[in-house]
A and B are shown apart, each in its own frame.
Chain A
Amino acid sequence: MKKAKVIVLRTAGTNCDRETVFAFQAAGADVDLVHINELIQGGKNLEPYKILALPGGFSYGDDIAAGKVLANELIYKLRQDIRKFVQSGKLVIGICNGFQVLVKTGLLPHSTLTFNDSGKFEDRWVYLKNVNRNKCVFTRGIKGIYLPIAHGEGKFVTDSKTLKELEKNDGIVFKYVDGKGREAGYPWNPNGSMDGIAGICNKEGNVFGMMPHPERFLSRYQHPHWQREKLPEEGGGLKIFKNAVQFAARHL
């Protein structure tokens, strides 16, 4: 089977690009790390790629609002290419700042990610429950997962109409829960997200964004309790990348 081609997009302030590249490589993909200027100036284009990843970081310093400037670049400078990519059913994943970018491009249902209720940046591990009924390509076969978040603007907010649509269209993917899988408040829900929502996908299930960092849990040694618990060699985050790469190889 041919390796799925993945483009990891970076720009000024992107900082989780290397580990995202490695995550896709570990999942068996052929990965290019590309600066957005190469796409804008036409040195490269999205055509050969099956998966587009927007990694974490502080694109353009998160000036104006987290992810806003890069989102504008995507919509106003690469509108046709991005639209074609998404409409052809290719996969897009935004992690942390990438998720913030995706909601601000409008590629994900009407919502935003705003300042944490705690009023500050926080790095902590959170329990996530997969509530998706199989629409999201990236999370199939995952029940729950333990991953780190690291953000200051991760509070998911939307209106009641969109929330209903999200539920109806199977657009809600991950929810923050406590160690026993129940919805809970801070610190389990680390930012005050509405309904504890940590990740959503579009109606088609091919565009997915999440605040926690699956690329930071590819091996057991990245888990905070690896000295306390018996854990498999492979970290829980890898499955998300494998799902995407396998889907792309089979269907795209």
Chain B
Amino acid sequence: MENVKIIDILGADDTELTRISKEGILSLNLEEMHAIMDYFRKAARNPTDVELETLAQTWSEHCVHKTFRGIIEYQEQSTVHGPRSTEKRRTTNDLRRTTIIDNLLKQTVMKATKELDKKWCISVFKDNAGIIEFDRDNAVAFKIETHNHPSALEPYGGAGTGIGGVIRDILGVGLGAKPIMNTDIFCFGFPDLPHEKLPGGVLHPKRICKGVVAGVRDYGNRMGIPTANGAVIFDNGFVCNPLVYCGTVGIMPKDKCFKETKPGDLIVAVGGRTGRDGIHGATFSSVELAKDTEVSAVQIGNPIVEKKATDVILQARDKNLYNAITDCGAGGFSSAVGEMGKDIGARVYLERAPLKYAGLTPWEIWVSEAQERMVLAVPPHKLDEIMAVFKAENVEATVLGEFTNDKKLVLLYKGEKVCELEMDFLHDGVPRFRRKAVWDAPETRPPRLCRGEVSLRRGVGAENPEQILKKILSHPTVASKEWIIRQYDHEVQAGTVLKPLQGKENDGPGDACVIKPLFRSNRGIVISNGINPSYGKLDPYWMAASAIDEALRNNICAGGSLEKCALLDNFCWGSPEKPGQLAGLVRASQACYDMAKAYGTPFISGKDSLNNEYFDQDSGKKISIPPTLLISAISVIPDIGKVVSMDLKSPGNLIYLLGETYDELGGSIYYSVNGLNGGMVPKVNPGKAAVMMKKLQKAIREGIVRSCHDCSEGGLAVAAAEMAFAGGLGAEIQCQRVNVSRPASVGGQATCQSLRNDMILFSESNSRFLAEVKPKNRRKFEKIMNGNKSPLTPLSKGGNGGIYSVIGKVKKDKRFKVYGLNGKLIINADIYELKEAWQKTLRW
């Protein structure tokens, strides 16, 4: 054959098979190579390079989620701590209980959705994005993707194509949705990391951060989609492998939510041209990064090409000119055509693909991840009309081939057959993984008190509570992200009715964003997120539970609706081949099931990015990122006129704390700024929390909550301070009035620490809100919170499921005051000084 290479696998031994996979960046393991060998042995021939590349792409972790869909042997080992030592001792009944998990995704995340069976879920886990009902005529779709490895190598291009890719997911969901909002969440190393601590070949975190922000800015702004929500986490676990999550929400008519490719439909490629950029993106995401990783796997973006394609595709959709559409993402044409023709078959003439430049081999054309390309299934009699729509706006479109009925994938290049694979083998032939997961519970003992903590208890000393509060406000994870937010056009399309920056001077940190997608309707969507990798280092189960609680908290306190709220999961993990890493993934997934069920909030879509590792040549070790789960929440509300911002509104109003505070400082920013590890990770009681959230939602709908903010990183003190300086008002908080609950017991071990100011102020216990209420509405508010039951009635007997108390007041003077447990003033700070501490860190 002239244009392709034949790869001799039939005559290869295991060493040779491994070499073929590794050198070709195919990321296929030996078992998979054997499956391929068996297939071709039956066919009595060797594969072409096109066939091998097609299989590698289709079977990549990125595309088929082999770990989540495989078989996992999960073991838990319980550890017991000696009474006076920190060393771990395994007891005799050392747990060796093994659970077999057949398809983790189906057993956890998807199972919750299935069991909840919400009528307003239109399409879940099937398509490019999850789709839920918006109003009688419209639906909204939501998807979040990661683009971690490309962003590590080339931050600007990697992040830009990350957002470009997820926009195409929305454009290619069902018969296509119109993008109406972007959300971006990043995890980086500390921006002030000393250069000498940077491993070889790694870009500095500040450089990565700036590049990623610029990439998202330039792509998102040019697409005319408001980037109105996000978060940025700084932790040195992400120095070598940053995380870049990009998400898009779209709106579509309800009758355009499903697609069906039909035999005889023409395969039409629309948009950008194919080039050599982004070769092996799908398979390369399964390889750990290293000093010499090739940058050619990063795609090159051009947002205006995508904007043009978006404009014409939505016109063609409204004229019913095609039967199916999907985006070219990871795996390029191979993935798009392969998926669309999965049940019927497809025939493609590769030489027809318009190229950026000559010289691409057939396999490169087929798997290139060049950007801005969509594939449509067009009935032949509509071809002329659809081509006219594209031509009218100078959008290039080409008929690549047709969908057939022979259940085969056939590729031709200049008359030569370069690939012939059975669709069944291509899509179902991948051997299932069988992997081991072993959970070894980490240290939960609280760390010994440090100097800061001791002085905090006394309320005196070098580091008084005010200084600690300022230090926490200056922590980059807590600090103002205004420098980033303002670079995004967060108001284009004119529907951002609750903006990311709020308050008197438009600079307070909003909890969620609210979009009103239709000009002539007051219905809206509330978008929020929850993420906290610090908890992941302690226990991925509680990290996942906390992320879900946080996403829901953010959503509810802005005016979202728990009854019509859907979730997305995005797992970023280290290598699933490490039993400890995999066990964490199992635990996090279990939490997803437990929480989704308890809150009644189904998952509608998700993605996993595993193998987030860096091979450090100096130490010879593979470094994993901290396990990180991003949870995003979308809820639909009937009236955007009821939503609430987080800034304090008027002096004299009462400040309520809803929820219980526990001694849960593990993974907190307070520990982080004091250099402490360990401790109790925040837990969630979803039953109680859901009841509380529904009551708060009712109070917000009745219009008696003037401002509301959740307690997250930095705890109660940070939340209250943010509300104060965002509103340009003072506040007075009494620690004595805070409901502190008995520490929960974990792993058979209870922590017994006395009540302390620092715990009250900085514990990051979940399910807590601060709400501002006018004194005249006090009774009304409390009646809603009591639910006509005494506050002391247990939950099992229909009690209010939570505790609330007035912990302070809004003040006219611009001072933030906190009274300690002994009634003494322990913080008395000017709000503008606190604001300055909060703003200065990331004011680049």
Spot the interface stretch: A107-115, A122-130, A197-205: A122-130
Residue A186 at the chain B interface, CB threshold 8 Å: no
- A186 to B824 CA separation, bound complex (whole angstroms): 41
A215 touches B494 (CB 8 A): yes
Residues of B within 8 A of A150 (CB): 221, 489, 491-492
Contact assessment for B492 and A15 in the assembled complex, using a CB-CB cutoff below 8 Å: yes
Q: Which residues of B contact A226 (CB under 8 A)?
A: 497
> Which A13-63 residues sit within 8 Å CB-CB of chain B?
13-16, 18-19, 22, 35, 37-38, 56-58, 60-61
**How long is the Cα–Cα vector from A167 to B506 in the complex, in angstroms?**
33
Whether B502 and A12, one on each chain, are in contact in the complex, defined by CB atoms closer than 8 angstroms, is no
Report how far A13 CA is from B649 CA in the complex, Å: 40
Looking at the complex, which one of B307, B393, B649 makes contact with A228 (CB distance below 8 Å)? B649
B280 within 8 A of A: no
Say yes or no: is B493 at the interface (Cβ < 8 Å to chain A): yes
List which A91-108 residues lie within 8 A (CB) of chain B: none
Q: Give Cα A124–Cα B217 distance, bound, in whole angstroms.
A: 15
Bound: A122/B707 CA distance, A? 27
The one of B221, B499, B647, B707 in contact with A121, judged by C-beta atoms closer than 8 angstroms, is B221
Is there an interface contact between A120 and B493, defined as CB atoms closer than 8 Å? no
CB distance from B481 to the nearest CB of A (A): 13
Instruction: Decide: A37 and B394 in contact? CB cutoff 8 A.
Output: yes
The answer to whether residues A122 and B487 also contact, given A13-B222, A150-B492 and a CB cut-off of 8 A, is yes
Interface residues in B608-662 (C-beta closer than 8 Å to A): 640-641, 643-645, 647, 649
* B844 (CB) vs chain A CBs: closest residue: A120
A224 contacts the other chain (CB 8 A)? yes
The yes or no answer to B488 lying at the interface (CB within 8 A) is yes
Shortest Cβ gap from B304 to chain A (Å):
4
Chain B residue with the shortest CB-CB distance to A59: B304
Is B487 a contact partner of A121 (Cβ separation < 8 A)? Answer: yes
Are B307's CB and A224's CB within 8 A? no
Please tell me if the beta carbons of A12 and B308 are within 8 angstroms of each other in the complex. Answer: yes
Tell me whether B221 and A58 are in contact (CB under 8 A): yes
User: Considering the chains assembled together, what is the distance between the CA atoms of A95 and B707 in angstroms?
Assistant: 34
Complex CA gap A207/B839 in Å reads 41
User: In angstroms, how far is the closest chain A Cβ from the Cβ of B546?
Assistant: 28
- B residues 460-515 in Cβ contact with A at 8 Å: 485-494, 496-497, 499, 501-504, 506
Known: A35-B392, A221-B641. A15 touches B224 (CB 8 A): yes
Check B304 against A13 for contact (C-beta < 8 Å).
Answer: yes
Partner of A224, one of B485, B494, B502: B502
The yes or no answer to B354 lying at the interface (CB within 8 A) is no
Are A228 and B504 also in contact (CB < 8 A) when A122-B486, A221-B516 are? yes
Set of chain A residues within 8 Å of B223, measured between Cβ atoms: 15
Chain B nearest CB from A171 CB (Å) reads: 28
Whether B217 pairs with A216 at a CB distance below 8 angstroms is: no
> Which of B223, B487, B490, B647 gathers most chain A CB within 10 Å?
B487
CB of B519 within 8 A of chain A?
yes
Residue of A nearest to B391 (CB): A37
Q: Is A209 located at the chain interface by the 8 A CB criterion?
A: no
Q: Are A16 and B644 within 8 A (Cβ)? A: no
Interface residues on B, range: 35 or more
- In the complex, the answer to whether A125 meets B487 with C-beta atoms within 8 Å is no
Contact between chains at B494 and A57 (CB < 8 Å): no
Question: Is A236 part of the binding interface, using a Cβ–Cβ cutoff of 8 Å?
Answer: no
Given the known interface contacts A122-B486, A221-B641, A227-B649, the answer about A12 and B304 at a Cβ–Cβ threshold of 8 Å is: yes
Contact of A16 with B516 at beta-carbon distance under 8 Å, contacts A60-B304, A150-B492, A227-B649 already known: no
User: Does B174 interact with chain A (Cβ within 8 Å)?
Assistant: no
Is B392 in contact with A37, judged by CB distance below 8 angstroms? yes
Q: Name the B residues within 8 Å of A123 (CB-CB).
A: 485-491
A13 to B303 Cα, complex, angstroms: 8
**Alpha-carbon separation in the docked complex, A13 to B305 (Å):** 8
For the complex, what is the distance from the CA of A235 to the CA of B649, rounded to whole Å? 22
A19 touches B504 (CB 8 A): no
A148 interface residue per 8 A CB criterion = yes
Q: Which residues of chain A are near B496, meaning CB under 8 Å?
A: 222
A140 CB to closest chain B CB (Å) equals 24
B506 close to A124 (CB less than 8 A): yes
The yes or no answer to A218 lying at the interface (CB within 8 A) is yes
| Chain B: CB-nearest residue to A190 | B486
Asked if B499 and A18 make an inter-chain contact with CB atoms under 8 angstroms apart, the answer reads no
How many residues in A have their beta carbons less than 8 Å from beta carbons of B? 35
Q: Which of B217, B224, B489, B643 has the most CB of A within 10 A?
A: B489
* Pair A228/B647 contact, Cβ less than 8 Å: yes
| A13 B307 Cβ-Cβ under 8 A | yes
B:511-543 near A, CB below 8 Å: 516, 519
Residues of chain A with a CB closer than 8 A to B488's CB: 121, 123
Q: How far is the CB of B180 from chain A (nearest CB, A)?
A: 11
A35 CA to B389 CA, complexed, in Å:
12
In the complex, what residues of B have CB within 8 A of residue A225's CB?
504
The CA of A15 and the CA of B488, in the complex, are separated in Å by 14
Residues B497 and A222 in contact, CB atoms below 8 Å apart: yes
Q: What's the least CB distance linking A101 to chain B, in Å?
A: 15
State A19–B307 Cα separation when bound (angstroms): 17
- A124 and B304 contact, CB distance less than 8 A: no
Instruction: Please give me the residue from chain A that is nearest to B520 by CB atom.
Output: A22
Instruction: For the complex, give the distance between the alpha carbons of A148 and B494 in Å.
Output: 10
Enumerate chain B residues within 8 angstroms of A228, measured Cβ to Cβ. Answer: 503-504, 645, 647, 649
The residue on A at minimum CB distance from B223 is A15
In the bound complex, what is the Cα–Cα distance between A221 and B490 (angstroms)? 15
B237 CB to nearest A CB, Å: 29
| Set of chain B residues within 8 Å of A19, measured between Cβ atoms | 493-494, 519
A61 in contact with B304 (CB, 8 Å):
yes
Task: Kindly supply a per-residue 1/0 record for chain A positions 219-245, scoring 1 wherever the CB is within 8 Å of any chain B CB and 0 otherwise.
Answer: 001101111100000000000000000
In A144-198, which residues have CB < 8 Å from any B CB? 148, 150
A10 to chain B, nearest CB (A): 8
Interface residues of B in 677-710 (CB under 8 A from A): 706-707
B491 cross-chain contacts in A, Cβ below 8 A = 123, 148, 150, 213, 216, 222
Residues in B with CB closer than 8 Å to A221 are 497, 516, 640-641
A125 to B491, CA, bound (A): 10
A222 pairs with B486, CB closer than 8 A: no
Write out the residue numbers on chain A whose beta carbons fall within 8 Å of the beta carbon of B493: 15, 18-19
User: Once bound together, how far apart are the Cα atoms of A222 and B494, in whole Å?
Assistant: 7
Q: What is the minimal beta-carbon distance from A178 to any residue of chain B, in angstroms?
A: 12
Residue of A nearest to B647 (CB): A228
Q: How many angstroms from the CA of A148 to the CA of B222 in the assembled complex? A: 17
* Nearest chain A residue, comparing its CB with the CB of B312: A35
Contacts of B499 in A (CB 8 A): 224
CB distance from B545 to the nearest CB of A (A): 31
Nearest CB in chain A: distance from B271 CB, A: 12
* Least distance between B506 CB and chain A CB atoms (Å): 5
B302 proximity list for chain A (CB < 8 A): 61
Instruction: Give A61 to B218 CA distance when docked, in angstroms.
Output: 10
- Rounded to whole angstroms, the CA-CA distance of A38 and B388 in the bound complex is 13
Contact (Cβ within 8 A) B494 A216:
yes
- A35→B391 CA distance, assembly (Å): 12
B514 CB to nearest A CB, Å = 9
B708 to chain A, nearest CB (A): 11
The 6 closest A-B pairs by CB, nearest first: A15-B224, A19-B494, A61-B304, A150-B489, A221-B497, A58-B222
Apart from A38-B392, A121-B217: 13 A-B pairs, beta carbons within 8 A: A13-B222, A16-B224, A19-B493, A19-B494, A22-B494, A56-B492, A58-B224, A58-B303, A61-B222, A120-B487, A150-B491, A213-B491, A224-B499
23 contacts between A and B (CB under 8 A): A13-B307, A13-B308, A15-B222, A15-B492, A16-B494, A19-B493, A35-B392, A37-B392, A38-B392, A57-B224, A58-B304, A120-B487, A121-B221, A122-B486, A123-B488, A123-B489, A124-B486, A150-B489, A215-B494, A221-B640, A224-B506, A228-B503, A228-B647
Chain A interface residues toward B at CB < 8 A: 12-16, 18-19, 22, 35, 37-38, 56-58, 60-61, 120-125, 148, 150, 213, 215-216, 218, 221-222, 224-228
Residues of B within 8 A of A (CB): 217, 221-224, 302-304, 307-308, 392-394, 485-494, 496-497, 499, 501-504, 506, 516, 519, 640-641, 643-645, 647, 649, 706-707
